Structure 1
Amino acid sequence: MKKTQRLDKILAHTGFGTRSEIKNLVKRGIVEVNGKIAKDSGLQVNPEIDRITVDGESALFREFVYLMLNKPQGVVSATEDTRDRTVLDLLDESYGHFDMFPVGRLDKDTEGLLLLSNDGKLAHNLLSPKKHVPKTYFAIVEGPEAVGDGDAAAFRQGVTLDDGYVTMPAELKVLKTEETNTPVRSEIELTIMEGKFHQVKRMFQAVGKKVVFLKRLTMGPLTLDPGLTAGQYRELTETELEALKEGR
């Protein structure tokens, strides 16, 4: 982060309005830097050292924000979309000035853990194919037979997807099987080390089965907070953020 930044940019990042609104606040003489009335909204200040107040209220600057979202079905993992609601549409307007984006993506009909941030460096590290960040999913799978040891063995070896790509080894755990109906329905957990397009669905397709429900539970060291219902979010704790940055 640069040591000094424009006053209006800092105040925009702390939720005091748009650049033009902040310019008006400065004109009204209610913005102070270190106890002195600011005359210019473009004044260069250091948010780590200088004390900035607006009508007596302190402006607490922070450059980056990290949110854990329990993404609901029907919402797309994008910053904007002409047809569907995006994950950013779920956020309170107080986060509007942070230029947030989803770190990675979940399909429109997939729910669960999604990280939202404005930290491009962290996002790059998490999404880099070289990092092999583990991700665990819960899924309901249907097929002519139950998900079993044969599928688990195939996934440990890596399966060939419809485009010829061979996946990295993945860990499959069967939680529950209902064999009274046709097709047979199984509940599973699957941990993968990569994130190809529709990968979980295509992996089961490769073994003759179909995913009918999918939810992401973990991403690296992050585990979806069970207290978050679909559509709810919260900021990461310091412990979670530290673990994420250290890649634990």
Structure 2
Amino acid sequence: MKDLYYVLMYNHLGNVKQCKTLIKHGLIKVNGLVETDAKRKITEDDCIEYQNRILNSQPFTYIMLNKPQGYICANKDEKEKCVIDLIEEKDCFCLGRLDRDTTGLLLLTNDKSLKKLLLPQNHVDKVYLVEAKRKLSKKDKEIFARGIVIDENIQCLPAKMDIIDDYWCYVTIQEGKYHQIKKMFLSLNNEVVSLKRISFDQIQLDSSLKEGDYRFLTKEERNKLIKKAAQC
């Protein structure tokens, strides 16, 4: 949910002061009634009117992309293919980044309030499916749980490893250092063969999405992210 004045701003009715003035002067209707509270919380079910024009009450875009290999998480690059090329909504940014050869769940949005979810102190789980080059062990799991050191002197937060079989596991982290999971495995004298993100907080990768395809988040999925960000 967003404040009414913020929704007006997104609909290009002016800056903060101008939008609050429109509301104060009784020029905005919500669900058919004049609304003078600039901080009224607006949901996507609310109908907002200005001069007999219906405004967009869901001012932000929230997208789930199943990222394929070979794309970088950027909006523009002269040499590389960018994930923004895979969607029509060009005003979005990546909510967290995946390496060029990493696949799976990538969220894109134009809601800047969600950037708080990327801060490690806010403890947002990111789960990856990992294929390792060498056999995994219980000791590896214990080292991850204590917090492994990468690049000789960079301490990672404790991470969770759930071993599936000798070479496959799930890894859960709450931060996003550069090439972090690959470097974590290098610190185990192992290597990552393939890496796929399958969840971000409570949002799971839609198994029906083929690589390179995307869909908009459902109302329930959007609300989970917005609620989490509001708690940060």
Fold shared by both chains (TM-score > 0.5): yes
Structure-2 separation of matches of 1:232 and 1:166: 36
> Within 5 A, what are the aligned runs for 1:186-201?
186-201=167-182
Aligned to 2:223: 242
Structure-2 separation of matches of 1:245 and 1:116: 14
Give the conservation status (yes or no) of the 8 Å contact 2:120–2:174: no
Aligned to 1:63: 59
1:102, CA displacement in angstroms? 0.7
Say if 1:212 and 1:62 are closer, same or farther in 2 by CA, change over 3 A: same
Where does the alignment leave 5 or more consecutive residues of structure 1 unmatched?
11-46, 53-57, 178-185
For each residue in 1:65-99, what CA deviation from the matched residue of structure 2 results, as whole angstroms up to 9, or x when unmatched? Answer: 0001111100110111111111110013xx24xx1
| Stretch deviating more after TM superposition (113-122 or 161-170) | 161-170
AA partner of residue 149 (structure 1): K
Structure-1 separation of matches of 2:205 and 2:82: 19
Aligned to 1:142: 133
Say if 1:174 and 1:4 are closer, same or farther in 2 by CA, change over 3 A: closer
Aligned to 1:228: 209
Instruction: Please give the secondary structure, in 2, of the residue aligned with 1:116.
Output: strand
Instruction: Please give the secondary structure, in 2, of the residue aligned with 1:125.
Output: helix
Structure-2 separation of matches of 1:174 and 1:5: 48
How many residues are aligned here? 192
Aligned to 1:23: none
Match of 2:149 among 160, 165, 168: 160
Say if 1:222 and 1:2 are closer, same or farther in 2 by CA, change over 3 A: closer
Match of 1:121 among 102, 107, 113: 113
Aligned to 1:174: 163
1:212, CA displacement in angstroms? 1.0
Give the conservation status (yes or no) of the 8 Å contact 2:119–2:175: no
Give the conservation status (yes or no) of the 8 Å contact 2:125–2:173: yes
Identity level (%) = 36
> Within 5 A, what are the aligned runs for 1:184-223?
186-223=167-204
Match of 1:75 among 71, 76, 79: 71
Structure-2 separation of matches of 1:172 and 1:194: 15
Structure 1 stretches of 4+ with a deviation exceeding 2 A read 1-7, 58-62
Aligned to 1:132: 123
Structure-2 separation of matches of 1:175 and 1:61: 44
AA partner of residue 224 (structure 1): L
Give the TM-score of the pair, scaled to structure 2: 0.76
Where does the alignment leave 5 or more consecutive residues of structure 2 unmatched?
14-46
Instruction: Please give the secondary structure, in 1, of the residue aligned with 2:94.
Output: strand
Larger Rg: 1
Aligned to 1:48: 48
Give the TM-score of the pair, scaled to structure 1: 0.72
